């Protein structure tokens, strides 16, 4: 009987079965043709069970080190807990302890996305604010487009899940499922639209003007002569908006010179309709809702827009005076929304 190093899984199963039948270790060794010492060692190890984990004493963090960690966390946003502690020369702290310490002084957040502003952009934003500082913004029609997808923004499908409960299952699409481009405008306490841009996400000058012909013009035609005389049309600097073709088309409709607001570059934070888009998205994607078709997400957009009352829109349009003052106070810097 030669001695082997390890028992196979099949041999271990047989040993357990023979023991249950009352066989001795010597008899089992003969039946399996294995060394008696190997069988005895396996039986002894099985009876001992798993060794208990020895908890190592955790490293204590001093008040001075806590201050260093707080300073490093403020100086290194988006860094990992390990990187923060290493920058403070604090070693030997497990991840669970690092996260618990940081949780008392910070919060995990995603980085804010905003357009880049260089010196020229800031100067143009200041010039724009000075130009329109005395404008009656209740006469301005603020317009913009928004794209909505079937699944909503990444990271919105999160929430509190009770202990013992499973997280809801979300659809996973191979090609994203597409989306809908929505156009709308707000003036004083009125919402114009929303309208579905049928051609899809990308607009050129011709399709943009044809879209305004089919949608905006129908609303504009019903307004009084005094309203048309005083209204100022606002649009951003998207290529399809700022092209010579689109500018000439608007001029033929009487929207030109002072009636067409100039717009500073990289300035979505100055357009109050961006806040309307946030309100609508929060409503249609609440509780991580997903959609199975473009028609269903469009219907949700229309329903959410109808729930936005005139007072909410008026609050947005009346915020413009404060936005202009903030731009000047920050010397053209980004003001948030």
Residue 1: inside a domain: no
- Is the pLDDT reported for residue 87 higher than 50? yes
The SS3 assignment for 172 reads coil
| Contact predicate 2/25, CB 8 Å | no
DSSP code for 104: H
Q: Do 123 and 39 share a structural domain? A: no
Q: Is residue 245 part of a domain?
A: yes
If asked whether residues 135 and 89 sit together in one domain, one would say no
Q: Do residues 136 and 252 share a domain?
A: yes
Q: What is the pLDDT of residue 157?
A: 67
> Residue 21 pLDDT more than 90?
no
Q: Which residues contact 323 (CB under 8 A, 6 or more apart)?
A: 269, 270, 272, 335
Q: Which of 57, 127, 168 is nearest to 267 (CA)?
A: 127
Q: What was the pLDDT predicted at 4?
A: 57
User: Is residue 200 predicted with pLDDT exceeding 60?
Assistant: no
What is the number of domains present in the chain?
3
Answer yes or no: is 228 within a domain.
yes
Domain of 292 in residue numbering reads as: 119-154+176-330
Reported as half-sphere exposure (CB side, CA atoms, 13 A), residue 318 has a value of 8
159 in a domain, yes or no? Answer: no
pLDDT digits (tens, 9 = 90+) for 168-187: 777 777 665 678 899 999 99
Comparing CA positions, the residue from 209, 150, 213, 210 lying closest to residue 177 is: 150
**84 shares a domain with 39:** no
The answer, yes or no, to whether residue 164 has pLDDT greater than 90, is: no
Assess whether 228 and 299 both reside in one domain. Answer: yes
Do 213 and 314 fall within a single domain?
Answer: yes
State the average pLDDT for the chain.
86
Please report, rounded to a whole number, the percentage of residues in the chain having pLDDT higher than 90: 45
For residues 190 and 94, state if they share a domain.
Answer: no
Residue 201: pLDDT band with limits 50, 70, 90: very low
Compare 177 and 309 and report the one with higher pLDDT: 309
Instruction: Look at residue 330 and tell me whether its pLDDT is greater than 80.
Output: yes
Report how far residue 191's alpha carbon sits from residue 273's, in angstroms, rounded to the nearest whole number: 10
Say whether both 91 and 234 belong to one domain.
Answer: no
Q: Is the pLDDT of residue 127 over 90?
A: yes
Q: State whether 273 and 248 are in the same domain.
A: yes
Residue of 296 and 107 predicted with greater confidence:
296
Residue 167 maps to a domain: no
Q: Which residue has the higher pLDDT, 142 or 59?
A: 142
Question: The CATH number of the domain where 230 resides is what?
Answer: 3.30.420.10
């Amino acid at each position: 009987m030669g001695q082997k190093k390890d028992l196979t899984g099949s041999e271990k199963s047989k040993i357990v079965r023979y023991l249950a039948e009352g066989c001795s270790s010597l008899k089992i060794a003969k039946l399996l043709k294995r060394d008696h010492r190997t069988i005895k060692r396996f039986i002894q190890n099985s009876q001992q069970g798993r060794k208990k984990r020895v908890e190592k004493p955790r490293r204590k963090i001093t008040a001075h080190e806590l201050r260093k960690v707080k300073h490093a966390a403020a100086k290194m946003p988006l860094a990992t807990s390990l990187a923060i502690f290493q920058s403070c020369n604090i070693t030997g702290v497990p991840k669970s302890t690092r996260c618990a310490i940081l949780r008392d002084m910070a919060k995990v957040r995603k980085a804010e996305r905003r357009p880049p502003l260089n010196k020229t952009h800031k100067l143009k934003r200041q010039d724009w604010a000075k130009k329109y500082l005395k404008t009656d913004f209740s006469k301005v029609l603020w317009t913009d487009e928004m794209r909505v997808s079937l699944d909503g923004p990444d990271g919105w499908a999160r929430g509190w899940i009770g202990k013992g409960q499973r997280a809801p299952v979300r659809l996973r699409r191979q090609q994203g499922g597409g989306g809908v481009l929505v156009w709308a405008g707000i003036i004083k306490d009125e919402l114009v639209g929303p309208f579905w841009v049928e051609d899809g996400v990308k607009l050129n000058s011709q399709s943009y003007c044809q879209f305004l012909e089919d949608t905006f013009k129908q609303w504009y035609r019903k307004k009084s002569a005094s309203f048309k005389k005083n209204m100022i049309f606002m649009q951003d600097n998207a290529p399809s908006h700022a092209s010579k073709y689109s500018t000439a088309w608007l001029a033929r409709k009487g929207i030109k010179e002072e009636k067409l607001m100039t717009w500073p570059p990289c300035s979505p934070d100055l357009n109050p309709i961006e806040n309307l888009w946030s309100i609508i998205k929060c409503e249609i994607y609440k509780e991580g809702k997903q959609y199975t078709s473009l028609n269903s997400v469009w219907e949700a957009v229309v329903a959410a827009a109808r729930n936005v009352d005139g007072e909410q829109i008026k609050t947005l349009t009346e915020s413009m005076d404060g936005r202009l003052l903030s731009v000047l106070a920050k010397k053209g810097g980004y003001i948030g929304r």
